[in-house]
Amino acid sequence: MTLEKGLCYRECVKNLRWIRIERRLLLVLLLTLLPWPAVWFGLYRFDNLALTFALYHGLCLAPAIYWGRKLWRHSLRWPTAREWAVLAVAVVVAIPASVAAYHWIGARLFDAHEVLSVVTHRGFRTQLLIPLALYFIPVNATLEELFWRGVVLNELRGMGEAVWTFGAVWTALAFGGWHYLVIRLLLRPGWAELTVLGIVISGIFFAWLYRRTRSIVVPILWHGLVFDMAIIFVFAAVLRG
C-alpha cells in the first residue's frame, strides 16, 4: 500500500510539473504574438512610425526583457578577436552588396515613390534618417535579440532540449512573421513574402549564433551592424534616388 501511494505521489508530481510547463509554454508563445497587434495599431490604426516603435519596443519587448533579465545576463560576454574579425568581414560584404542589389533589382521589388509615400504618410522626414539610424541600429537590434533569443529562447530552453529546438524555429517564425505587416506596405506582392522568409532564416541564424557563441552580444552585433545597417543604407539609397 505504501509503495502504491509512493508511485501515485510521484505520478501526481510529474503531472503537475507538465501542467506548469504547458502553462508556461503557452504564456511564452502568447508573448511572442504581442508584436502583431502592437505593430498593426501603430502602422494601420494610427499611421505613425514613432508610435509603432514605442508600442513594439516599449510595450512588447522592454517589459519582457526586464522580467526575464536573469535568463540573459549570464550571456553578456564580449566577442572574441576571431568573432570580431568574422563580423567585420560580414559588414564589409553585406553593406555594399545590399546597396548593389538595390540598384540592380530594386525596381522589381518596390516602387521608390510608393515607399516614400508610405513612410512620409506615417511621419518620416528625410532629415530624420540619421536620428533613425542612430536609434534603429543599436536599440532595435539590442531589444529584439534580448527579447527573442535572450528571454523567449532561453525560457523555452529551460523546458527541455526538444522544446529548445522547437523554440529556435518558433521564435524565427514569430520574429519573421510580424514583419510582414511592415514589408507588405513597402514591397510588391511575392517579394514581400520572400523577404519574410529571409527574415525567418535570419532568425534561425541568430539562434544558432547565440547557441554557438554562448554570447547574446554576438547576435546583437550581427543583427545591428550587418542586417539593420544594410536596411538603413538601402533606405538612404532610396531617398537619394
Q: Is the pLDDT of residue 166 over 70?
A: yes
Q: Is the pLDDT of residue 225 over 50?
A: yes
* Residue-level pLDDT at 111: 93
pLDDT at 182 over 70: yes
Q: For residue 231, what are the domain limits?
A: 33-240
Is residue 7's pLDDT more than 80? no
Average pLDDT over residues 174-191: 94
Q: Could you read off the pLDDT of 107-152 as tens digits, one per residue?
A: 899 999 999 999 999 999 999 999 999 999 999 999 999 999 999 9
User: What pLDDT is recorded for position 69?
Assistant: 93
pTM: 0.88
Q: What is the DSSP string of 144-198?
A: HHIIIIIIIIHHHHTT-HHHHHHHHHHHHHHHHHHTHHHHTTTS-TTHHHHHHHH
Pair (2, 82) in one structural domain: no
For residues 70-98, average pLDDT: 96
Residues 43 and 145 grouped into a single domain: yes
Answer yes or no: do 11 and 40 share one domain: no
Q: Are residues 51 and 123 located together in one domain of the fold?
A: yes
Residue 167 clears pLDDT 90, i.e. is over it? no
- Report the chain's mean pLDDT, rounded to a whole number: 88
pLDDT tens digits, residue range 19-73? 455 677 778 888 899 999 999 999 999 999 999 999 999 999 999 999 999 999 9
Residue with cell string 552588396 = 97
Checking if the pLDDT of 105 tops 50, the result is yes
Quick one: 119 and 24 in the same domain?
no
| Helix ranges restricted to H, 33-147 | 35-40, 49-53, 62-67, 69-72, 81-109, 112-121, 129-135, 141-145
Tell me what pLDDT residue 27 has.
81
pLDDT tops 60 at residue 91: yes
Q: Would you state the pLDDT for residue 165?
A: 74
User: What's the structural domain count of the chain?
Assistant: 2
Same domain membership, residue 122 and residue 13: no
Least confident of 9-18, 144-153, 200-209, 221-230: 9-18
Specify whether the CB–CB gap between 103 and 187 falls below 8 A.
no
Whether residues 58 and 158 fall in one domain: yes
Q: Take residue 109 and report the three cell numbers written for it.
A: 521589388
Q: Are residues 188 and 111 in the same domain?
A: yes
CA–CA gap between residue 43 and residue 37 (Å, rounded) = 10
Q: Is there a single domain that holds both residue 107 and residue 180?
A: yes
Same domain, 16 and 93: no
Is the domain of 25 the same as that of 55? Answer: no
One domain, residues 43 and 12: no
Phi and psi, residue 222, nearest 5°: -65, -45
What's the confidence (pLDDT) of residue 160? 59
